[in-house]
Amino acid sequence: MLVVQKSIKHLNLGVYPPDGRVRVAAPLHFTADNIRLAVVSKLSWIKKQQAKFQAQPRQSKREMVSGETHYIFGRPYQLEVIERCGSDEIMLTNNHILQLFIKPGTSTEKRAKVLNEWYRHQLKSRVPELLNKWQEIIGEEVNDWGIKKMKTKWGSCNITKRRIWLNLELAKKPIECLEYVLVHELVHLLERYHNQRFIAYMDRYLPQWQKCRDILNSEPLGEL
């Protein structure tokens, strides 16, 4: 369990994937006993959330078959593969089913490619609004941005060219995580290095940035 104390009014408790790690943010005036009692009072809820994470399939290499769990902006969807003639298509139904319409005999690689392109489209539809919002707030603008698969980073910023790259895997994560990565890369236009000045900017613009960072860092960058 990770406990941090900061200048807030109320205690915040969260349980995060993939293994149900508990994070507590407590007001500065809380004692160790205050925090312990608060956690104990939520123990039943904590165990319930942890059980949910343990029951979820892990994001190993996808076989692209019906019954798999795939994530879209943090929400789990069950894959339903439907073979038919015509164009490839993806549809969301009943708030928990991801339907993949493909031609009979389509390979696993091709199925994954169709899903990847759909993920890319989902990100592209969300980024402009968030980017415009934060460029105005931070006072810095990029010349270009793009999406690509990355093995070790959630995002990157070429300061000279003022270009931001976003990891395609962000389409699986909560939208708050996408927003955090965008802000992180925009702040690099103000400060190149991850020093105290950089942290001060992040604290000013996105006070909950560490929570989003912890969510991303708790999950390995898996293959799509």
| Tens digits of residue pLDDT in 186-208 | 999 999 888 899 999 999 999 99
Residue in the block written with tokens 């929400």: 75
Helix (H) or strand (E) holding 193: none
Strands, E, within the chain: which ranges? 2-6, 12-16, 21-27, 69-72, 75-83, 89-93, 97-102, 144-148, 155-158, 163-167
pTM for the structure as a whole = 0.71
pLDDT at position 15 is 81
Asked whether 25 and 6 are in contact (CB, 8 A), the reply is yes
Q: What is the separation, in whole angstroms, between the first and last Cα of the chain? A: 30
Structure token pair of residue 214: 């912890």
How confident is the model over 135-164, as pLDDT tens digits? 999 999 999 999 999 877 899 999 999 999
pLDDT average, residue stretch 8-24: 79
Residue-level pLDDT at 116: 96
Residue 129: the pLDDT is 97
Instruction: Over range 130-134, report the average pLDDT.
Output: 97
Other residues' Cβ atoms within 10 Å of the Cβ of residue 44: 9
Token digits of residue 59: 């994001």
Q: Is 214 exposed, middle or buried (0-12, 13-18, 19+ CB in 10 A)?
A: middle
Does residue 57 register a pLDDT over 50? no
Q: Is 88 helix (H, G, I), strand (E, B) or coil?
A: coil
What per-residue confidence (pLDDT) applies to 94?
A: 83
Q: Quick count: other Cβ atoms within 10 Å of Cβ 192?
A: 12
Mean per-residue pLDDT, 219-223: 56
